[in-house]
Amino acid sequence: MTTYLLAGGGTAGHVNPLLAVADRIRDREPDANILVLGTKEGLEARLVPDRGYELLTIARLPFPRRLNRAALSFPRRFREAVAQTRHYLESRGVDVVVGFGGYASAPAYRAAHAIQLPLALHEANARPGFANRLGARYTKTVGVAFHGTRLRNATWVGMPLRREIEQLDRHSARAEAFGMFGLDPTKRTLLVTGGSTGARSINATVFNSVADIIGAGWQVLHIAGNGSELIDAGTPGYRLMRYCDRMDLAIAVADLAVARSGSGTVSEFAAVGLPAIFVPYPVGNGEQRFNADDAVKAGGAIVLADAAFTPEWVRSSLVPLLQDPAAIAELAARIATVGARDGADRMVDLLHSARK
């Protein structure tokens, strides 16, 4: 029996591929012992136990970006996190460590390297984070979600996807999706989503442009996020939701999407051939802009700066696109050329090579 420790967490971008790989290991090796290393504060604290995996925790340790008290104490706290992780590795008889970036990964990489355990890692973003840049120094087993990712020893494997996306048949799921969302099956649907917390600028522009979009003959499924204060006025052809726990059906019903370009969103849309207008999150290290590169270069998506996504742009550019079915079909065909549904299998194949 092999014991795996999968390290990562904090955000859905780290947790979802981790869980996809964990599930695929369990599919292939029913007797495997799968442990997850994370923090008490990240999404993993809820999602990992809910999926039936044991969560081991270490302190949340953001890498300091400026010189302050936290930065001065970082070396000591990092050593403590590495020591705690090494204790887990040794006391639980871990055979392989697999990291996905995020707060828990860097200590796991350092601890695995110290005791010479096989190590593999997966980078979900086109621009690698600090933890995986560190981890790539310790192993040649490095899987990446995007072809353009610059990371030492990178091998493209694609994104390990949630099973409901990996197995999604959009055509057969559409009838259920139309019924669930109360949408008209005779009309095309624009899906708008900024992720679970929403995207205020996208929400505002779409909300103020509903008449133009509906006037183009489309309907709108708008998933505004838990923090949204928008109120659905009952406009025919406009369905507003704060949260959707069946994103597979939201994707199935959509003919075009407007969304942030998080790595998971880009990968899921490409895997099922859903074309998109990507509006990258304008704060942070800019990784969302790079995440969309493969889709844009293939001609399957459009990237627009957050500040440029305005009602004026909707009228001048989006509405003409909505009125051009051939252009939408071409976008769909092209984004599908960069998508992959077998990222979890590819990543598990790769991590097994780390043990040889």
Nearest to 276 by CA among 193, 170, 208: 193
Rounded distance between C-alpha atoms, residue 108 and residue 135, angstroms? 9
What pLDDT band is residue 10 in, cutting at 50, 70 and 90? confident
Whether the predicted model's global pTM rises above the 0.85 cut:
yes
Q: Kindly report the CATH number assigned to the domain that includes residue 180.
A: 3.40.50.2000
Using the predicted structure, report yes or no on whether residue 202 has a pLDDT greater than 60. Answer: yes
For residue 356, what pLDDT is reported? 63
Average pLDDT over residues 37-55: 91
CA separation (Å) from 26 to 51, 63, 106, 235, 348? Answer: 11, 32, 24, 46, 11
Rounded distance between C-alpha atoms, residue 219 and residue 132, angstroms? 41
Q: Are residues 141 and 170 in the same domain?
A: no
Q: Are residues 218 and 233 in the same domain?
A: yes
Count of structural domains within the chain: 2
pLDDT per residue over 59-85, tens digit each?
Answer: 887 666 666 666 666 678 889 999 999
Rounded distance between C-alpha atoms, residue 316 and residue 285, angstroms? 30
Q: Are residues 102 and 72 in the same domain?
A: yes
Rounded distance between C-alpha atoms, residue 55 and residue 251, angstroms? 31
Using the predicted structure, report yes or no on whether residue 279 has a pLDDT greater than 90. Answer: yes
Q: Are residues 7 and 122 in the same domain?
A: yes
Q: Are residues 173 and 144 in the same domain?
A: no
Rank 98-107, 122-131, 265-274 by mean pLDDT and report only the highest: 265-274
pLDDT per residue over 230-261, tens digit each?
Answer: 878 788 999 999 889 899 999 999 999 999 99
Place of tokens 């990446």: 144
Using the predicted structure, report yes or no on whether residue 198 has a pLDDT greater than 60. Answer: no
CA separation (Å) from 315 to 151, 178, 214, 216, 320? Answer: 40, 26, 12, 10, 8
Residues 6+ apart with CB under 8 A from 158: 145, 267, 340, 342, 343, 346
pLDDT per residue over 304-316, tens digit each?
Answer: 999 999 999 999 9
Q: Are residues 142 and 201 in the same domain?
A: no
Q: How many other CB atoms sit within 10 Å of the CB of residue 352?
A: 17
For residue 68, what pLDDT is reported? 67
For residue 231, what pLDDT is reported? 79
Q: Are residues 11 and 149 in the same domain?
A: yes
Average pLDDT for the chain: 92
Rounded distance between C-alpha atoms, residue 328 and residue 192, angstroms? 16
pLDDT per residue over 83-99, tens digit each?
Answer: 999 999 999 999 999 99
- Give residue 234's domain range: 165-336
Q: Are residues 272 and 207 in the same domain?
A: yes
Q: Are residues 142 and 212 in the same domain?
A: no
Cα 103 versus chain centre, distance: 16
For residue 97, what pLDDT is reported? 97
Burial grade of 284 (CB within 10 A; 0-12, 13-18, 19 or more): exposed
Q: Are residues 32 and 105 in the same domain?
A: yes
Q: Are residues 301 and 245 in the same domain?
A: yes
pLDDT per residue over 171-185, tens digit each?
Answer: 999 999 999 999 999
Q: Are residues 42 and 9 in the same domain?
A: yes
Residues 6+ apart with CB under 8 A from 169: none
